[in-house]
Amino acid sequence: MNSRELLKRIQVLNRQGRYKIYRESVAAFCDAALESVGCKKRSLSVAFVAAKEMRSLNRRYLKRDYATDVLSFSYGSVKMDGNPFLGEIVVAPEVAFDQARRFRISPEKELKKLLVHGILHLLGYDHATDQGQMNRFQRRLLRRNFFLNSASLADLKVNR
What are the pLDDT digits (tens) for 139-157?
A: 999 888 888 888 899 986 6
Contacts of 128 (CB under 8 A, 6+ apart): none
The answer to whether 9 touches 83, Cβ cutoff 8 Å, is: yes
pLDDT at 159: 57
Contact (CB, 8 A) for 141 and 134? no
The letter for the amino acid at 81 is D
CATH superfamily for 3-149 is Metalloproteases ("zincins"), catalytic domain (3.40.390.30)
pLDDT digit string, tens, across residues 53-109: 999 999 999 999 999 999 999 987 888 888 899 999 999 999 999 999 999 999 999
pLDDT at 132: 84
Residue 4 has pLDDT above 90, yes or no: no
Return the amino acid letter for 106.
S
Provide the mean pLDDT of the chain: 91
Determine the Cα–Cα distance for residues 49 and 91; give it in Å rounded to an integer: 6
Check whether 131 has a pLDDT greater than 90: no
Residue 1's pLDDT is what? 65
